[in-house]
Amino acid sequence: MTELTIEAIRAVVREELGRPVSPWLDTEAAAAYLGSTPGTLKNWRATGQGPKYHFVQSRLVRYHVEELDRFVRTGER
């Protein structure tokens, strides 16, 4: 049986608190999640680079957390 330590509990709490409530992020939240800037994401969209994004109601840009994670893991463009 694994011993439950305070450090293990802290690690779980930190991980859970860092998760967004919704998996869909706007440009500003996606930039913060990636440690980037909204301008960089806008430039990537304009040049066909960066993580996948979706339009909501034909005008709102949203990024899914899984796509952001995939982008970071694979460096997909």
Please state the domain extents for the chain: 21-74
Architecture of domain 21-74: Orthogonal Bundle (1.10)
Query: Quick one: three-class SS letters along 9-71?
Result: HHHHHHHHHCCCCCCEECHHHHHHHHCCCHHHHHHHHHHCCCCCCEEECCCEEEEEHHHHHHH
Treating both helix axes as pointing N-terminal to C-terminal, what angle do 65-74 and 27-34 enclose, rounded to 10 degrees?
Answer: 40
What is the amino acid identity at position 18? Answer: G
pLDDT at 8: 81
pLDDT higher than threshold 60 for residue 77: no
What is the amino acid identity at position 73? Answer: R
Read off the pLDDT of residues 41-76 as tens digits, 9 standing for 90 and up. Answer: 999 999 999 999 999 988 899 999 999 999 999 875
